[in-house]
Amino acid sequence: MTTSVEGWDFSTDCTLRGEVVINAAELLRSTGLLSIEHVLLVAQVECSSTLVRTTNSLFLSEDKGSAYTVDVRLPPGQYASQISASLHLVLGHDVPTVPDPTIASRTGARLASSEVSKLELGAKGSLFPTEALDFSGSLPSGVPWLMNLTYEDLDDAFLGAARLFVNTAHPAGRVALDNEHANAPLIRSALRVDIVRSLILQVASQERSVFDASREFDPESIGHVIASFCKHEFKADLASVARMITSDPIEFETRMQAAFGYLQQLDGE
């Protein structure tokens, strides 16, 4: 079953909590182990869209009772679309004195697993991972944000290739990250224009503006996302928009600003 998580944003710092009750006697009986203190409870969260996996673990103990809780922090900007969460019991270290050779004895041997819970992340902000950091010393400090797209083929997963860096040392960067700020809608209108401009320019540059207009891209791929931007905002295909960049850059810029309501959300207007 998939559960939808409303209000998710890629800059959100989130923690998932797993809770489980373990019958120690049954665990020892079914595994043949002599002590539950060899066993590690592992919480695992995976995201296929961004190829990220995060885990946390703790050892079972005779002194902790039967109820266990383990938290997994999801770092901001690394998860998107859908995540899968599960709990596992594994051997935390080798057990050299196991009396029966058929009993698990090697570190990492999986003893039991829960069902996988799927969470659909409903983004309310960015459409891709976002990383907030101080640009000082590493990136141009005078810019509020930077859109980066790294890929080999337009069928590569968009969420794994695209990353928005937001400069926390820049006033506009801080406002863009603050949902409650009065000027957030205004700043984000500029951010959206910059994002789309940068993505299209990067793709047009890397592909040298040579596109097969009949090509169909994989869903959630870079080509599909950029082509969708072009279709919905420019009412044109990707190849036409790429040509527009060089043949009529003013048309490209004005149509893009108009499509995204550039700076129309002035506070008090």
- Terminal C-alpha separation, the chain: 45
Query: Whole-angstrom Cα distance, residue 228 to residue 30?
Result: 53
Per-run averaged pLDDT (10 residues), the chain, 269 residues = 57 80 91 88 81 85 90 73 88 75 79 89 59 83 90 86 90 86 83 88 80 75 84 84 90 86 64
- Coil vs helix vs strand at 195: helix
- Residue entry with tokens 């527009």: 244
Hey, what CATH topology would domain 2-123 get?
Immunoglobulin-like (2.60.40)
Global pTM?
0.53
Query: Whole-angstrom Cα distance, residue 173 to residue 165?
Result: 9
Domain spans, the chain: 2-123, 130-259
Q: What is the pLDDT of residues 35-45, one digit of tens each?
A: 899 899 999 99
Q: What is the pLDDT of residues 108-142, one digit of tens each?
A: 888 999 999 988 775 444 456 788 889 887 778 78
- Coil vs helix vs strand at 65: coil
Q: Which pLDDT does position 263 carry in this prediction?
A: 77
